[in-house]
Chains A and B, each alone.
Chain A
């Protein structure tokens, strides 16, 4: 029987409630995630070796738009 090795998806810790925040495998710096527990909007500060560093996402600014 072949042994299937799966890498854990990247994850981080919510800076607000300290819950584990999972992320998709293609997560990039500056992406936005939502904490699954407290639902705070978080931004990815760094991605390294399966771990992501998170901080609270910036508030909407006056000149944001599309």
Chain B
């Protein structure tokens, strides 16, 4: 019988549902809290036939996936996928490469470049985002040059190194909601309309 490991940090309802469904089918499940696991090459703690990477922590989950892959264990999702999906610029590049329409975007590394970038995107407003991050954190709609200068100065002075890569998108108006759809291949599994008067519509923000 194939042995499945669930790599997790905080154990959420989703992980409980997955493990419960597996056990209901008689599939051996190991719950591995990666925060308490030494990710050493060859460690017996990393033994299983396949691993589901379910950590809430993007960084910890990425390294845990890489550690299991180094032992020849397939991980869902693999670290290469996590690396792309965990970075907005890399994701945008891959989507564009695949022919998926995306808002115009670019990346710059200083404020003078950012001023020129705004012209490239058609002028204000634009949206500045950290390349890495989730749940709608640290997004900024920039309406004018003063705001652009202030936000980027704060990022340059106070930010961690990833914050000093300025991912900028054109601003897109929405009709009071946006749609998040989950797909597997060409099939839409489910979708949610997220309503908000605010320009940010992340579920985590209500």
List chain A positions with a Cβ less than 8 A from chain B.
26, 28-32, 43, 57-58, 61-66
Q: Does B43 contact A (CB under 8 A)?
A: no
Q: B161: shortest Cβ distance to chain A, in Å? A: 13
Take A61-B57, A65-B56, A66-B56 as given contacts and tell me if A30 and B135 are in contact as well, using a CB distance cutoff of 8 Å. Answer: no
Q: With CB as the reference atom, state the residue of chain A lying closest to B55.
A: A64
Given the interface pairs A63-B132, A66-B134, the reply to whether A30 lies near B8 with Cβ below 8 Å is yes
Contacts of A43 in B (CB 8 A): 10
Most buried by B among A29, A58, A65: A65
Question: How many whole Å from B187's CB to the nearest CB in chain A?
Answer: 21
B16 within 8 A of A: yes
Count of interface residues, chain B, beta-carbon cutoff 8 Å: 20
Judging by beta carbons under 8 Å apart, are A63 and B11 in contact? no
A43 to B134, CA, bound (A): 22
Q: Which residue of chain B lies nearest to A61 when distances are taken between CB atoms in the complex? A: B57
CA distance A29 to B75 in the complex (A): 22
B16 near A30 with CB under 8 A, answer no
- The 3 A-B residue pairs with the shortest CB-CB distance in the complex, in nearest-first order: A65-B134, A30-B11, A63-B58
Q: Is B71 an interface residue (CB 8 A)?
A: no
Asked whether any CB of chain A lies closer than 8 Å to the CB of B144, the reply is no
